[in-house]
Amino acid sequence: MSNQRLSVLLLISLLFFACKKSNIVTQSIAPFSIVDDTTIAINDVINGNSLRAFNEAIRQNPKTKLLVFKEAPGSEDDEVNVQLGRKLHEVALNTHVENNGFIASGAVDLFLAGISRTLGENTRVGVHSWSDGNKEATDFPRSAPEHQLFIRYYTDIGLSQQLAEDFYFFTIDAAPARDVYLMTPEEIEQYLIVTK
């Protein structure tokens, strides 16, 4: 074997063992990343491919118990987002927002699907109304069927009917779709955003 080939094999071996021993994220299934045997992370907008990506992350990392949110500003596809949240709840993952992390809009809905939900230090939780491109949620009467997608989702992931309705109407009244309202610690407690 030539010295050049031996050097390449040695370099590959060193890189392999360095990656195995490091604590950095080693695999990515955007917007999810596998952190370790029991943890995956999300760090981007939830989109139409996110349910497929989540299922693949769980397939690759079947011992996953925790989804960590880094910077998750929302969702581009509400239908996929609620399917993703139901799946997260079904596989009984816990959710956590890391220190200095940010969740907003659909990412808050996804976070709520966790069995145990925790926030790190200096985290931000943002909510707002949704828009269909022509009308905002607040343009519809409270009895309108357009509100049921989210209210039904909240009850499916374990919120009581009253809390589901209260939180949903709070979010759509808090800020218009083009803006974000950051929840206060009191509101986070009131709407049971965290479990401990």
Say yes or no to pLDDT of 62 above 80.
Answer: yes
pLDDT at 54 over 80: yes
Determine which helix (DSSP H) or strand (DSSP E) holds 56, and give its type and residue range: helix 50-60
Q: Which two tokens stand for residue 16?
A: 């392999």
Residue range(s) defining the domain that contains residue 149: 26-190
Q: Is residue 14 part of a domain?
A: no
Residue 74 lies in a domain: yes
**CATH number of the domain to which 32 belongs:** 3.90.226.10
Q: Give yes or no for residue 13 having a pLDDT over 70.
A: no
Question: pLDDT value at position 139?
Answer: 97
> Where would I find the beta strands (DSSP E) of 11-131?
27-29, 32-36, 39-42, 66-72, 94-104, 117-119, 124-127
The answer to whether position 11 is within a domain reads: no
- What is the b/e burial string over 44-62, where b = at least 16 CB atoms within 10 angstroms of the residue's CB? ebbbeebbebbeebbeebe
Question: What is the band of 28 on the pLDDT scale with cuts at 50, 70, 90?
Answer: low
pLDDT tens string 128-187 = 999 999 999 999 999 999 999 999 999 999 999 999 999 999 999 999 999 999 999 999
Does 139 map to a domain? yes
Whether 94 maps to a domain, the answer reads yes
Domain membership of residue 147 (yes or no) is: yes
Per DSSP (E only), the strands in 8-162 are 27-29, 32-36, 39-42, 66-72, 94-104, 117-119, 124-127
Nearest-CA neighbor of 33 among 72, 73, 85?
A: 72
Instruction: Please report where in the chains the tokens 């080939």 appear, as a residue.
Output: 5
Residue 59, in any domain of the structure? yes
Q: List residues bridging with 181 in a β-sheet.
A: 127
- The tally of domains found in the chain comes to 1
Query: Is residue 63 in some structural domain?
Result: yes
* pLDDT of amino acid 196: 78
Task: Kindly report, residue by residue over 82-138, the tens digit of the pLDDT.
Answer: 999 999 999 999 999 999 999 999 999 999 999 999 999 999 999 999 999 999 999
Q: Tokens 């996804």 appear where?
A: 110
pTM for the whole structure: 0.85
Query: Dihedrals φ, ψ of 73, to 5°?
Result: -80, 0
